[in-house]
Amino acid sequence: MRLRARKYFKHMDMILFISVMILILIGIVLIASATHANIPGPRRYSFVLRQSIFVGINLLLGAYLMRFDYRILKHLARPLYFFNLIMLLAVMLVGKSALGAQRWLQIGPISIQPSEFSKAIMIVALSAFVERRLNTLTDFKSWIPVFLYVFIPFFLVMRQPDLGTSLVFIAILLGTMIVCGFRIKYFLVMGGLGLASAPLVWRLLHEYQRNRIRVFLNPGLEPYGSGYHVIQSMIAIGSGLFFGRGLFGGTQSQLNFLPENHTDFIFAVAGEEFGFFGVTLILLLYLIVIVRGISIAIHATDDFGTLLAVGIVSMFTFHILVNVGMTSGVMPVTGVPLPFMSYGVSSLTTNMLMVTLLLNIHAHPKTLRF
């Protein structure tokens, strides 16, 4: 037992692990900063506390899961996929709604956001699904089942509505397609078709989503309503200057001008309180995570491992791009949290599980047989 533990430890990607842990710790500090002034009474510490507890739980869970070979997931893929569909349907039927969207399921004291987990499930299920068909994925037609496979959960999440998460599915699919040799000319054709169908997609969107895109496309950013959050966020980041206003020193976040400052807009708190110096460090840490993830994909000893790693990296990259882009005013506002840093038990757990999976792929170069 001890021997095996040491063996995993030896094979663990320490750079990845440490980078992620630093990001998580920075996140907790920023959550503390964002909530201590704005949340009244005893609930003040509950965010830091809950996030910390779940970091612990997830570390234990991850350590436990490291014992298994990720390849067993191949067999779990199909049940997970259907479990996912059921969960998403449940959200639609009995979910709690907030901000005009039904995204939460209440289980005991915690509300969970199934769409977060469904990202992870999507990566696992899609990787297994594609891996089985790798030899047949040649022409465009052969890809259609894959597209359909992604489309069903994509559609369900989009109707919640949660545009951000549903687009994560597309990012994961895109990463998978790239690594599976999807022909470049197909990409071009699909891109063209995508642009051509934009008006149709526009009609499928909810009014508030359309508004967000309108505001995003309008460079003047209407300072009323939908543009409000982004402007406050940009002010927070911009006023951080080079070294930031110091932890707990950001007026935008401390006086609550910054909305959702412990969840989706936590990066703006980082920008305000740690300055350019701090956010550059954070972004470089993310780059390390991505580089390690792709490296794991490159060195994986089987296609399932490569596919998983690529899916995970695609998800992280997409999240970082969209979240940081949103807080700095270059991406439309979608409810996409910043991996490892945003407060949110579902998101944190999903991301830590995905890192565990990366570590697992790294640690299992050979098929271990028990």
Nearest approach, Cβ of 178 to another protein (angstroms)? 5
Residue 282 identity: I
Contact call for residue 188 and another protein (CB under 8 A): no
Of 52, 102, 111, 251, the one binding another protein (CB under 8 A) is: 251
Contacting another protein (CB under 8 A), which of 27, 161, 164, 175?
175
Give the separation between CA 170 and CA 150, rounded to whole angstroms.
Answer: 8
Contact indicator for 21, 280 with CB cutoff of 8 Å = no
Binding letters toward another protein, positions 85-124, x by CB under 8 A: ----------------------------------------
CA distance 79 to 44: 40
> Does position 279 bind another protein by CB under 8 A?
yes
Q: Which of positions 32-51 make contact with another protein (CB under 8 A)? A: none
Q: Is 133 exposed, middle or buried (0-12, 13-18, 19+ CB in 10 A)?
A: middle
What are 315's two structure tokens?
A: 């998800």
Number of residues that bind another protein (CB under 8 A): 60
Between residues 62 and 259, which has the closer beta carbon with respect to another protein? 259
Instruction: Select from 163-171, 186-194, 276-284, 338-346 the region that touches another protein (CB under 8 A).
Output: 276-284
Exposure of 20 in the CB half-sphere (CA atoms within 13 A): 26
Report the distance separating Cα 261 and Cα 342, nearest Å: 9
Counting other chains too, the contacts that 154-161 makes at CB distance below 8 Å and 24 or more residues apart are 156/85, 156/88, 156/89, 156/92, 157/88, 157/115, 157/118, 158/204, 159/92, 160/88, 160/91, 160/92, 160/95, 160/101, 160/102, 160/103, 160/115, 161/100, 161/101, 161/205, 161/206, 161/209
Residue 209 sits in the site that holds another protein (CB under 8 A): no
The tokens describing 213, both together, are 């895109």
Residue 18 within binding range of another protein, rule CB under 8 A:
no
Considering only 19, 113, 317, 356, the residue that binds another protein (CB under 8 A) is 317
297 counts as binding another protein under rule CB under 8 A: yes
Told to check if 62 binds another protein by CB under 8 A, we report no
Instruction: Indicate the residue among 95 and 244 with the shorter CB distance to another protein.
Output: 244
How far apart, in whole angstroms, are the C-alpha atoms of residue 104 and residue 90? 10
Binding of another protein by 77 (CB under 8 A): no
Q: Where are the beta strands (DSSP E) in 18-69?
A: none
DSSP bridge pairs for 107: 110
Interface positions, 129-168, toward another protein (CB under 8 A): 134
Q: Candidates 1-9, 16-24, 165-173, 303-311: pick the segment binding another protein (CB under 8 A).
A: 303-311
The only residue of 178, 189, 204, 368 in contact with another protein, by rule CB under 8 A: 178
- Both tokens of 227, joined, read 């543009």
In whole angstroms, how close is the CB of 290 to another protein at the nearest point?
Answer: 5
Judged by beta carbon, residue 166 or residue 306, the one nearer another protein is: 306
Task: Say whether residue 284 binds another protein (CB under 8 A).
Answer: yes
CB 296 within 8 A of CB 309: yes
CB neighbourhood size of 200 (10 A): 8
Residue 235 touching another protein (CB under 8 A): yes
Q: Is 57 in the site for another protein (CB under 8 A)?
A: no
Catalog residues that contact another protein under the rule CB under 8 A. 134, 175, 178-181, 223-228, 231-232, 234-242, 251-252, 255-257, 271-272, 275-276, 279-280, 283-284, 286-287, 290-291, 294, 297-300, 302-303, 306-307, 310, 313-314, 317, 320-321, 324-325, 328-330
